[in-house]
Amino acid sequence: MTQAIPVLIMGALHPALQNNVETHFAATRYYELANPAAWLAEHGASIRGVVTSGVYGATAELINQLPNLEGIFSFGVGYDAIDIGAAKDRGVVVTNTPGVLDECVADTALGLMLNVMRRLPEAERFLRAGQWESAKFPLATKLGGKKVGIVGLGNIGEQIAKRAAAFGMDVLYHNRREKPGVAYRYYADLDAMISAADVLVLAVPGGASTERLIDARRLALLGEKGFLINIARGTVVDEPALIQALQAGTIAGAGLDVFEHEPKVPRALIEAGNAVLLPHLASGTFETRQAMADLVYRNLSGYFFENKQLTTQVC
Ligand code: NAP
Ligand code: 8YV
C-alpha cells in the first residue's frame, strides 16, 4: 500500500474540499496546531503540498520552512497573499481558481452599484424605522446613461462590463494594455478615465503593482457626483483617503466588498451613510464556492495523482 501524501491545510476550507483533502491525503490542520513553529521544525520536511486560500495565503517564511514542498493550491483567484517570488525561487507550483467565480463577483459589483447609487439599504432602514409614515425618502441616482470606468477588464471586469451595459451604462476601461477584440472604450491613462467616469469599479489584482492605486488625488478626479465600487482588494484604495472623501462629500458614495485590514473595518466607514459595505462575499454562492472547491481539488489531485497535471496554474 502506498503512503498518503502529507499536506498542510492553512485554514478551514469549503466543507467538500476539506473532506476530499482529508480523505485522500495525510492532512494536517495548520490552524489547529498548538505550537506551529515546533511542529514545522519537527515535521516541515515531510510536507509536499499546501492547501490554502486567498485569505490564508502562504508567506515566504512558511514556504522556506517546508524544504520538500512541491505545490501551493489556493481557493480563490487572487493570490496576493501568497509569496509568489518565494514559491518561484523554490520551484514550487502555485494554482488558483480563475474563471469559475466571474459571474457571481460581477453580480456583486452590480449589486453594490445599485445599492449605493439607488440608496436601497438606506431606504430599507428608513422604512423599517417607521419613517415612511411621516416623510418621503429622498431621490437617488440613475445607473442608465452613466459612464462606468472599469479598472481591470479581465475575467471579472468583462462580466461587470456586460452587466453594466445591460443596465444602459456606457463602459470605459483601463488595463496596462489594451485588450484585443473589446469594443469598450480603452483609456491608457487612468486619470483621464477617472475624470470621464461617473462610477469607478475596481477589478484589478491586489499586490505591490496596484497598492493604493486609488489615492486622494484620484478620488478627487472622480468628483462629488462620482461613486467608487471595490470588489478587488482593499489595498487598491487608500482607505483613510476614501474615508475622508466620503465624509467631506468629495465623492458621492462607495460600495465596498473588500477592505485594507479584513475583517477589521474602520468605524468611520461603518458610520458613513454614503457607503454600502459587504464582508468580502462576492464569490459567496453555493454554486460558485462548490466550483472553486472542485477546481482546487482538480489541481491538487491532478498534480499528485495524475502526473503533475495542473488546470489553472499561476506559476
Ligand atoms: P484577471 O482576469 O487576471 O484580470 C485582471 C485585470 O487587471 C487584467 O485585465 C489586467 O490587465 C488588469 N491589471 C492587472 N494589473 C493592473 C495594473 N497594475 N493596472 C491596471 N490594470 C491591471 O483577474 P480576475 O479573475 O478578473 O480577478 C481580478 C481580481 O479580483 C483578483 O485578482 C482578486 O484580487 C479580485 N477578486 C475579488 C473577489 C472578491 O470576493 N471580492 C473575488 C474574486 C476576485 P493588464 O495585465 O493588461 O493590465
Ligand atoms: C475568496 C476572492 O472569497 O477569489 C478571490 O480572489 O477574494 C474570493 O473569491 C477569497 O479568496 C477567500 O477564499
Atom of ligand 2 minimally distant from the CA of 283: 9
43, with CB counted inside 10 A (0-12, 13-18, 19+), is: middle
> Does 58 contact ligand 1 (Cβ within 6 A)?
no
Asked if residue 55 has its Cβ within 6 Å of ligand 2, the reply is: yes
Contacts of 206 (CB under 8 A, 6+ apart): 78, 80, 232, 233, 234, 235, 236
Q: How far is the CA of 174 from the centre of ligand 2 (A)?
A: 22
- Both 41 and 88 in one domain: the answer is yes
**158 Cα–ligand 1 center, Å:** 10
Q: Which domain holds residue 92?
A: 6-100+287-305
Tell me which residues are annotated as active site.
233, 262, 280
- Ligand 1 test: best mutation among 104, 107, 176, most atoms within 8 Å of CB? 176
Residue 312 belongs to some domain of the structure: no
Could you say which ligand is closest to the alpha carbon of residue 204?
1
What CATH number corresponds to the domain at position 195? 3.40.50.720
Does 106 lie in the same domain as 236? yes
Burial-class residue 202 by CB neighbours within 10 Å (0-12, 13-18, 19+). Answer: buried
Domain shared by 164 and 252, yes or no: yes
Q: Is the CB–ligand 2 distance for residue 101 below 6 Å?
A: yes
Name the average pLDDT for the chain. Answer: 98
pLDDT, position 2: 75
Question: Within this chain, do residues 272 and 293 fall inside the same structural domain, yes or no?
Answer: no
Query: Phi and psi of 172, rounded to 5°?
Result: -120, 155
189 in a domain, yes or no? yes
Residues 96 and 110 in one domain: no
Which tens digit of pLDDT belongs to each residue from 291-302?
999 999 999 999
Structural domain includes residue 269 = yes
Whether residues 162 and 251 fall in one domain: yes
Confidence of residue 78 (pLDDT cuts 50, 70, 90): very high
Q: If you take atom 36 of ligand 1, which residue's CA is the nearest one?
A: 232
Ligand 2: atom nearest CA of 78 is 6
Confidence category of residue 1, pLDDT binned at 50, 70, 90: low
Cβ(288) to ligand 2 under 6 A? no
| Confidence check: pLDDT of 32 > 80 | yes
Q: Is the CB–ligand 1 distance for residue 276 below 6 Å?
A: no
Q: Which ligand is nearest to the CA of 291?
A: 2
Total tally of structural domains belonging to the chain: 2
- If pLDDT is split at 50, 70 and 90, which confidence band does 124 have? very high
Grid cell 468611520 is found at: 268
User: Are residues 67 and 179 both part of a single domain?
Assistant: no
**Residue nearest to ligand 2 atom 2, measured at CA:** 76
